């Protein structure tokens, strides 16, 4: 029995995802996709209208996954009563998890979205903007609550996105650290910075404004001693000198 | 009089750079390159052997520019007797300047280098590794001198590279901030982190180990008050809330 239409369609999208990631959208042909699945090229058109439809589906799914990831991170932070530090950490974990679990999708999303037609590109751009805005809002909340320094929220948001987005270029599932560990290390770095020794850390006690009673309030100090635990308590990160 | 062979070759590489950036290496044909220059496709082969030769030239030039940028930044830091903070800031400025001045090259470098044949890809990988290692060394020096916290130098180096590399995706020369301003803002963020108010800043005075007498020792404190000057004294950055 041949696979159901729905399953066949998913297989086509999955094969296209791999091929667009490997060769780029323009040079991966419908014939390549069909060959990878052992099908005749004509059969594809029973399930999809065009190669661009498939590109859109891949890119749109990716955009939705990122949006859903930050929505979940914010909901989790809210339900825990977490401060902006932990909210940002959770968002970075969610983002890196999405990339780690969808490396081909991330490559297609970042490299090929610009080849969509104008209407669809506008739709993806709107979702990207919504995502960037959600990240920026986390920064703004941290600044307004006095936990973060009064940095430029646009550039700080872009810094978070840079750390999270560039990840697809170097991350390997076979590497020594999980996406969560890396997210924690990046979050620590972005929150506490490179500078500052034990003396600077001690003064966090006296920090004025906001963040009081936050379960993450102690994270910076703990991190500085190199004995950190992940925000979810599910593991330890390994950002000490190797 | 037709352009000299050298000039014609440069024109071909420049046209290829634009086309590879716009359409991707695989889908930009030699005919496309010739058309953009108003030439016959056959004429190209007087000047270049193959499309891959041109790709290699673009990618290899980019790799050399990044290596030269970090070399210059380190030399400048050394000649100024600058500490690791300023050395890192200078390196980030150099990197962002290279990207800002070569946006098409950066796109080709990051997206298309993987399409080189094995030997050439290995050569580019070696240059990328050398670059990453130079950035990581700046982190290690900062840690060893006690100015930086004992973070994981690999991940901290990757954080620097993420901020600097992702830049090609969003930077516009028409935007409100120069590459230098953005580099300074990113360097401030990475050095001082998001956390910490005036109390934390004051304790920098008492920081133990290294960095004493460094001209950049006061930068963190100044930055935290939102009255910062760029490392080179040539301008002000604008990482305050807008």
In a domain, B230, yes or no: no
- Mean pLDDT for B46-61 is 95
Q: Are both B14 and B85 inside the same structural domain?
A: no
Q: Are both B61 and B164 inside the same structural domain?
A: yes
- Candidates B151, B178, B184, B220: best to mutate against A (most CBs of A within 10 A) is B151
Q: Which of residues 42-61 of A touch B (CB under 8 A)?
A: none
Q: Are both A148 and A54 inside the same structural domain?
A: yes
List the CATH number of the domain containing B1. Answer: 1.10.10.60
Over residues A164-213, the pLDDT tens digits come to 999 999 999 999 999 999 999 999 999 998 886 433 443 344 333 333 33
Q: Per this entry, what is the length of chain B?
A: 242
List the CATH number of the domain containing B104. Answer: 1.10.357.10
CA distance B66 to B58: 13
Identify the pLDDT of residue A2: 65
Q: Are both B114 and B152 inside the same structural domain?
A: yes
**Given CB atoms, is A148 within the 8 Å cutoff of chain B?**
yes
Q: Are both A101 and A115 inside the same structural domain?
A: yes
- The answer on pLDDT for B154 being more than 80 is yes
- Mean pLDDT for B82-91 is 94
The ipTM (two decimal places) reads 0.78
In a domain, B237, yes or no: no
In a domain, A152, yes or no: yes
Q: How far is A149 from chain B (nearest CA, A)?
A: 6
Q: Are both B44 and B134 inside the same structural domain?
A: no
Q: Which of residues 202-241 of A touch B (CB under 8 A)?
A: 202-204, 206-209, 220, 224, 226, 238-241
Closest chain A residue by Cα to residue B110: A169
Structure tokens at A108: 């297609």
The answer to whether B150 contacts A241, with C-beta atoms less than 8 Å apart, is: yes
The answer to whether A196 contacts B240, with C-beta atoms less than 8 Å apart, is: no
Over residues A47-79, the pLDDT tens digits come to 999 999 999 999 999 999 999 999 999 999 999
**Burial code of A49-61, b = ≥16 C-beta within 10 A, e = fewer?**
eebeebbbbbbbe
- The answer for residues whose C-beta is within 8 angstroms of residue B222's C-beta and 6 or more apart is B228, B229
In a domain, A125, yes or no: yes
pLDDT class of B26 with cuts at 50, 70, 90 = confident
Residue A238: list chain B partners with CB under 8 A: 152
**Given CB atoms, is B83 within the 8 Å cutoff of chain A?**
no
- Candidates A190, A195, A239: best to mutate against B (most CBs of B within 10 A) is A195
State how many domains chain A has.
2
Give the phi and the psi of residue B174 in degrees, each rounded to 5: -85, -5
Q: Are both B113 and B185 inside the same structural domain?
A: yes
Q: Per this entry, what is the length of chain A?
A: 242
In a domain, B239, yes or no: no
- Mean pLDDT for B130-159 is 94
- The answer on pLDDT for A129 being more than 80 is yes
Q: Are both B71 and B134 inside the same structural domain?
A: yes
Over residues B165-220, the pLDDT tens digits come to 999 999 999 999 999 999 999 999 999 988 864 334 433 443 333 333 333 333 33
Domain extent at residue A19 = 1-48
In a domain, B81, yes or no: yes
């Amino acid at each position: 029995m041949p696979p159901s239409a729905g399953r066949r369609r998913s297989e086509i999208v999955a094969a296209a995802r791999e091929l667009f990631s490997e060769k780029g959208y323009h040079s991966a042909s419908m014939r390549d996709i069909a060959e990878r699945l052992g099908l005749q090229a004509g059969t594809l058109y029973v399930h999809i209208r065009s190669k661009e439809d498939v590109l859109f589906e891949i890119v749109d799914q990716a955009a939705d996954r990122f949006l859903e990831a930050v929505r979940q991170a914010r909901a989790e932070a809210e339900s825990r009563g977490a401060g902006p530090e932990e909210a940002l950490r959770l968002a970075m974990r969610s983002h890196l998890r999405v990339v780690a679990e969808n490396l081909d999708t991330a490559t297609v999303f970042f490299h090929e979205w610009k080849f969509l037609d104008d209407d669809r590109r506008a739709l993806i751009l709107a979702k990207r903007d919504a995502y960037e805005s959600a990240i920026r809002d986390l920064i703004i909340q941290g600044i307004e609550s006095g936990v973060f320094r009064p940095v430029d929220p646009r550039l700080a948001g872009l810094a978070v996105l840079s750390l999270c987005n560039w990840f697809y270029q170097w991350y390997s599932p076979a590497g020594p650290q999980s996406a969560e560990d890396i997210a924690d290390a990046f979050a620590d770095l972005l929150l506490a910075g490179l500078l500052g020794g034990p003396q600077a850390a001690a003064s966090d006690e006296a920090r004025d404004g906001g963040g009081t009673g936050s379960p993450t309030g102690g994270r910076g100090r703990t991190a500085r001693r190199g004995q950190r635990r992940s925000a979810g308590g599910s593991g330890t990160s390994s950002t000490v000198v190797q």
